[in-house]
Amino acid sequence: MSRASRLLELMQVLRRHRSPVTAAYLAFETGVSVRSLYRDIASLQAQGATIAGEAGVGYVLRPGYTLPPLMFTAEELETLALGSRWVTQQGDDELSLAARNALAKVRSVLPRALLEDLDASSMLVPPSNAAPPGACDLASVRKAIRTERKLLLNYRDGEGRATSRKVWPFAVAFFTQMRLIAAWCEKRQGFRHFRADRVEKMEVCGERYPRRRQVLLREWRAEVVKIGDW
């Protein structure tokens, strides 16, 4: 591996970690000695990378610095193309537009050779036949999740029973045939899953729910794994 490629790989490893990572671990991940790792860290810092830390403590990449996209592997380009095409087909209108815009930004900075590889990607996504979202505006649901706002739902279950729920949404699952909202339900005092196509009416409350969505997501993952429902 060339030194430029190694430095790029080191940046990628640092991006994956939010807390300090030891020099020994970084050296193992990039396949160099610890002494070489220290030199690579110094080189990146000299180029403007905001890497905080020191020998014996660990290193962390502070936000705000990115290297130019000098290189993508063939697999990475195929992943970008496939992911963008899937979201374009399966996402709501806002997500579909965002996916196209994101890929256009990537295309605008790629060298000609990599651009040709991206355009020639054979990773295809068939047309979507997902269930319609009913009265549920998924863009509004995603905004409610980001801002941690409660939702009022008029919902009809699989047996046709109507119910009204006030919920704390924290995730949306995009299955091929349905969209599922994961939320804490105040009425049931527990985690529940609501199919978007069964929502007959939805209102975003001005009221914030009292717990962070990251906490809810973590607790939900622990519970559904325990009971085997996910």
Residue 112: its pLDDT value, please? 76
Give the number of domains in the chain: 3
Residue 223: its pLDDT value, please? 87
pLDDT tens across 10-39, in order?
A: 888 888 887 889 999 999 988 899 999 899
Max mean pLDDT range (87-91, 209-213, 226-230): 209-213
Clarify whether residues 187 and 215 are in a common domain: yes
Q: How far is Cα 217 from Cα 161, in angstroms, rounded to an integer?
A: 28
Clarify whether residues 150 and 198 are in a common domain: yes
Residue 107: its pLDDT value, please? 81
- The answer to whether residue 133 sits within a structural domain is no
Residue 8: its pLDDT value, please? 80
Clarify whether residues 25 and 78 are in a common domain: no
Provide the CATH number for the domain around residue 15.
Answer: 1.10.10.10
Clarify whether residues 45 and 90 are in a common domain: no
Clarify whether residues 106 and 179 are in a common domain: no
Provide the CATH number for the domain around residue 208.
Answer: 2.30.30
| Whole-model pTM over 0.75 | no
Residue 131: its pLDDT value, please? 59
Full residue range of the structural domain in which residue 85 is found: 74-119
Clarify whether residues 158 and 184 are in a common domain: yes
Residue 112: count other Cβ atoms within 10 Å of its Cβ: 7
Clarify whether residues 49 and 90 are in a common domain: no
- The answer to whether residue 69 sits within a structural domain is no
Residue 209: its pLDDT value, please? 96
- The answer to whether residue 163 sits within a structural domain is yes
Residue 183: its pLDDT value, please? 96
Residue 75: its pLDDT value, please? 81
Residue 45: its pLDDT value, please? 86
- pLDDT higher for 80 or 151? 151
Residue 65: its pLDDT value, please? 56
Residue 2: its pLDDT value, please? 65
- pLDDT higher for 71 or 88? 88
- pLDDT higher for 18 or 142? 142
Residue 92: its pLDDT value, please? 82
Residue 22: its pLDDT value, please? 92
Average pLDDT value for the chain = 84
Residue 114: its pLDDT value, please? 76
Strand order in 149-156's β-sheet? Answer: 190-195, 179-185, 162-174, 149-156, 199-208
pLDDT tens across 145-192, in order?
A: 999 999 999 999 888 899 999 999 999 998 878 899 999 999 999 999
% of the chain at pLDDT higher than 70:
89
Residue 64: its pLDDT value, please? 63
pLDDT band at 133 (very low <50, low <70, confident <90, very high): low
